[in-house]
A and B are shown apart, each in its own frame.
Chain A
């Protein structure tokens, strides 16, 4: 089995000089990070903690002051390594004078696609992100969620093995957010490696296998999601159709075995699920 991580950062440090001053802002401080192949990795941290700079170093857009970044073992400074990676930047602003289809055609041409392959790829991608109906509309008329989706489509044009998503659901409505979440699951199913950052921790928790937490340019905690937040000394049981007598019996049994029932209550659905059920937004959009 290939043990080479999809993304690997080794002791990366990056400072940005402040113009006309001798000081520099330390954006990333001696960061080492491995993202295993096929996993969804969430990089978390407050604003200004160095997440976006870390992404740019991984993509070879920024040269670190020290340390190295690799994509499947190739230095990320090597332009050829970017064949393996698709990137959705935070708040993506594409050329607003282009239509959705023209945008994807442009990125396909940058990746060497042409002719019938290009046409069919553009069509597939528009369908994938549910924007077939807006293919010929200029991006200046796209909503925030539509821009985010066309951004995701452009990230996938060359069918990369790694997808880096910087705040993929920022400003997107719950239905769009769910669709992006489903797409991330689909990417994982297809064996892609996903590195993402988001301030929506509930969503991160739902999709990520592994989490890294950054603060002040350093990686302060890192590990598998279950290891980080799983409560190892507690067990949750959900019962359907139980009567009060049954609950009393369970409670007595637990107490007899030396345990303690911490809470009994009616579980809730998520607000997102309820919202989608009420608005029917997801099914409506699919029917489009």
Chain B
């Protein structure tokens, strides 16, 4: 150590701001580095194997069945991996920083608690975006490869050029439907909602296990709550208590049933853009509600 070095130079730091995108981005990129260096991306190998296995099985089917199965397996796997990633990686973020006392050193700097929470959540969103983007690229590459093979096979089957062009157009239409991009986007949105719920749970949970179990419970309730609501609404008049209960449940638990649009994508049905926009709006509302609750709880948390 060189104690004689001068370190009382003129201050280079910028004046304190209540909200700083620079601080939030610093925490977000640090969170992404943290998650990346915990080797979280190893699951991509498993995803690759799942894709490879499904493509090997698909030779026995017609092109329509093959593409549907590929989409089913790929979108299903992307959905499962993104759900696991959103819940498991978010659950440990706050408890680890508190346990390792890294939170003290961060909040002892001029960093407001809301910047810290926003940075952490943004870091997880980065991770989810990168993971889903990488899985999507792998899936698209495989789909394009299989499409090429099927088009090549069609060239051998059809001698009439008109028939060949028609067959090739059918193959292209079955492989890449516009709804595919909407499906991938909605999977990302659902994962972001689950990350926001998990962050909220971890802000008051006493253990990681509690956070993870509760997050999966929310996930399950999110999938069945709209069915229960529909059943009650159809069963007749509701009393005031039931109405209040239903309203509170609808706000607390995200309606994940709305993401079943992805199933439509698998079977190749067109997904109306207004529906995607509506789901995006609802999803964003859920994220903002959970984020607001997390900020309120974390603001008063004793460290």
Give the interface of A toward B (CB within 8 A): 16, 56, 59, 61-63, 79-80, 82-83, 85-87, 89, 91-95, 97-98, 102, 106-107, 109-114, 117, 121, 124-125, 127-130, 149, 151, 154, 156-159, 179-180, 182-183, 185-186, 190-192, 285-286
Contacts and interface: CB of A to CB of B under 8 A. Distances in A.
B14 A112 contact: yes
Contacts of A86: 108
B112 interface: yes
Interface stretch (B22-30, B130-138, B238-246): B22-30
A185 B105 contact: no
A130 B16 contact: no
29 contacts: A56-B104, A59-B108, A61-B107, A79-B18, A79-B112, A80-B16, A85-B108, A87-B108, A89-B101, A89-B105, A89-B108, A92-B101, A95-B30, A106-B30, A110-B26, A110-B109, A112-B20, A113-B12, A113-B13, A125-B7, A128-B5, A130-B1, A149-B1, A154-B105, A159-B12, A180-B1, A182-B1, A186-B3, A186-B7
Contacts, number: 130
B234 interface: no
Given A80-B16, A113-B12, A149-B1, A95 B102 contact: yes
A190 B11 CA distance: 14
B217 interface: no
Q: Binding site of B, secondary structure by majority: helix, strand, loop or mixed?
A: loop
B22 A159 contact: no
A128 B4 CA distance: 9
Counting chain B residues whose Cβ lies within 8 A of the other chain, the interface size class is 35 or more
A183 B6 CA distance: 11
Contacts of A93: 100-102
Interface stretch (B32-40, B158-166, B274-282): B32-40
B26 A109 contact: yes
Contacts of A95: 30, 34, 100, 102
B303 interface: yes
Contacts of B20: 112
Contact of B12 (A98, A109, A121, A286): A121
A288 B95 CA distance: 38
A97 B33 contact: yes
Nearest to B113: A79
When A and B form their complex, which 3 residue pairs have the shortest distance between CB atoms, in order from nearest?
Answer: A109-B26, A87-B108, A112-B14
B8 interface: yes
B235 interface: no
B13 A87 contact: no
Contacts of B18: 79
B33 A82 contact: no
A192 B3 CA distance: 14
B28 to A, nearest CB: 11
A190 B6 CA distance: 8
B237 interface: no
A159 B1 contact: no
B106 interface: yes
Contacts of A183: 1, 3
A61 to B, nearest CB: 5
Contact of A109 (B4, B23, B104): B23
A56 B12 contact: no
B178 interface: no
Contacts of A59: 108
A286 B1 CA distance: 7
Nearest to B11: A159
B53 to A, nearest CB: 33
Contacts of A98: 30, 33
B30 A82 contact: no
Interface centre among B2, B3, B302 (most CB of A within 10 A): B3
A62 B302 contact: yes
B111 interface: yes
A159 B7 contact: yes
B47 to A, nearest CB: 23
Interface in B173-223: none
B105 A107 contact: yes
A158 B2 contact: no
B148 interface: no
Nearest to A179: B1
A129 B111 contact: no
A61 B302 CA distance: 8
Nearest to B99: A93
B62 interface: no
A223 B33 CA distance: 47
B110 A158 contact: yes
B230 interface: no
A112 B13 CA distance: 5
Given A89-B101, A95-B102, A111 B110 contact: yes
